[in-house]
Amino acid sequence: MFRGFVRPLFQIFTTNIKGGINLVNYDAPLSMYFYGSPYTDPADPIVAATYAMIAAESLGLGTCMIGSVHPLIQSGSKARKFRELHGIKFASREGVFVLFGYPAVKYNKGLTRTFASVHTP
């Protein structure tokens, strides 16, 4: 995973940051990290993040799930220091960041769809 995903991702992040483009958190005003402990189901952080996104959307906020940061903070001494600095208690098999902010685009009209006919057996 490190050679095929983490290393290329880290290079993309650092190259863009040097160019003034933040692909890590897109300069979002709020970022929340959802992760599990050794006692949770791997799906738990994703379920919690999804509910947070639904709640934020109901308040008029825009949200975006970012899965690329999680692998960067799981192993290694710098990752451990990062977790300690930010109060992240466990390295976790599953985790996701959710970005929150005010949307730059407001949609006035959604797609109009009809329900497909449902056939019961």
Q: How far apart are CA 32 and CA 75, in angstroms?
A: 20
pTM for the structure as a whole: 0.74
**Segment 30-83, tens digit of pLDDT:** 999 999 988 999 999 999 999 999 999 999 999 999 988 888 888 889 888 989
Q: What is the pLDDT, as a whole number, of residue 23?
A: 83
Taken in order 37, 39, 45, 48, is the CA torsion positive or negative?
Answer: negative
- Is residue 91 within 8 A of residue 37, CB to CB? The reply is no
Q: How far apart are CA 20 and CA 75, in angstroms?
A: 27
**Segment 12-28, tens digit of pLDDT:** 888 998 998 888 888 89
